[in-house]
Amino acid sequence: MKDRFVIYNGGVSAYGTDQAYLRYTKRFDDIKPEMSFLGYATTDLIRNLSIQRMLLMGHSDEYLFLKPRFVLKSNQLELISPPETNFENLTDVLKSPETKRLLKQYDPFFEKCSILKQLIAITIRQCGFNIKIPLRIKKLRAEALRIVFGIIKKFIEFSRQRKTDGIILFLPIFRGAYKTGNDFDTLIHMLDRHGYPYVDLRNVFSDIERHDMEDFLTPKNHYTRLSGDWISDYLSDYITRRIGNTQRS
């Protein structure tokens, strides 16, 4: 694939579709791509709803930092931007009443993960233990899906305004608490209704029964070199066909 196309990897570990979209808009003029992919995985349902990365999701203490998130107001997305945090001001920002009010209003997991719980979790993890408290987001599922689709719509519109082919990339997860389910089908149905292009990478894994899970997924559910090659070949063919169809039209 690298021999046929110039590829820029803008992905950042643990970003949701919200941060990925914001990074895309910020970096677009530096690259001016002809074709762009915005990835979606089921974990983004959680990531897009949070402002503060929660240790109860099993992450390290670096996720105490705050992130922006989109909220729905009158069926429109509004960006909520918390105070900027760094290593120097982190404690003061997290202790401030303004931050606590913002988290309580806009982060549905704030009550489940107080600062004290997070500090305890850090201590436990530093002692070599790993904890994971499951998040109950079923009641937030409909809102989360609408937010994802709203971000997708923004991405597509932003790309089209700049004469760029924006495409959604569905990245399946095959195990764990955030295993891919019918969220893919729900979002794909919404994309089909609007005529938005997408690539469903579940098609790449149609013959995974012939492999052990460890062949194509790492312990942290990242793709391995083998599954990465599958995806690369699949996307290379897709891009070639799409470019050909665009040129003919």
| Under 8 Å between Cβ of 187 and 148 | yes
Q: Band of the pLDDT at 55, cuts 50, 70, 90?
A: very low
Last residue of a domain, one of 101, 136, 171: 136
Q: What angle do CA 68, 59, 168 make, to 5 degrees?
A: 55
What's the pLDDT at 137? 55
Q: Are residues 30 and 144 in the same domain?
A: yes
Q: What is the pLDDT of residues 5-37, one digit of tens each?
A: 788 999 888 899 999 999 999 999 999 999 999
Place of tokens 């729900």: 186
- How many C-alpha atoms does 77 have within 13 Å on its Cβ side? 22
Q: Are residues 151 and 36 in the same domain?
A: yes
Q: Are residues 114 and 236 in the same domain?
A: no
Q: What is the pLDDT of residues 59-74, one digit of tens each?
A: 554 567 889 999 999 8
Q: Band of the pLDDT at 75, cuts 50, 70, 90?
A: confident
CA-to-CA separations, 48 to 27, 71, 83, 144, 161, in angstroms, rounded: 20, 9, 17, 7, 24
Q: Are residues 122 and 226 in the same domain?
A: no
What's the pLDDT at 90? 83
- The model's pTM: 0.85
What's the pLDDT at 118? 55
| Under 8 Å between Cβ of 35 and 162 | no
Q: What is the pLDDT of residues 124-162, one digit of tens each?
A: 544 444 444 444 556 788 899 999 999 999 999 999 999
Q: Please give the residue range of the domain that contains residue 185.
A: 1-49+137-249
Q: If you average pLDDT over every residue of the chain, what do you get?
A: 84
Dihedrals phi, psi of 24, to nearest 5 degrees: -60, -45
Q: Are residues 41 and 65 in the same domain?
A: no
How many whole angstroms separate alpha carbon 60 and alpha carbon 28?
A: 30
Q: Are residues 245 and 146 in the same domain?
A: yes
Q: What angle do CA 169, 173, 175 make, to 5 degrees?
A: 175
Q: Are residues 116 and 27 in the same domain?
A: no
Query: Percent of the chain having pLDDT more than 90?
Result: 54
Q: Are residues 1 and 107 in the same domain?
A: no
Q: Band of the pLDDT at 57, cuts 50, 70, 90?
A: low
What's the pLDDT at 135? 43
CATH number at residue 245: 3.40.50.1110
Q: Are residues 120 and 165 in the same domain?
A: no
- How many C-alpha atoms does 60 have within 13 Å on its Cβ side? 6
Length of the chain equals 249
Buried/exposed 31-54: b ≥16 CB within 10 Å, e otherwise: eebeebbbbbbbbbbbbbbbbbbb
Looking at the structure of the chain, the number of domains it has is: 2
Q: What is the pLDDT of residues 202-237, one digit of tens each?
A: 999 988 888 899 999 998 889 999 999 999 999 999
Mean pLDDT over residues 47-54, rounded? 83
Q: Are residues 156 and 114 in the same domain?
A: no
Q: Are residues 91 and 24 in the same domain?
A: no
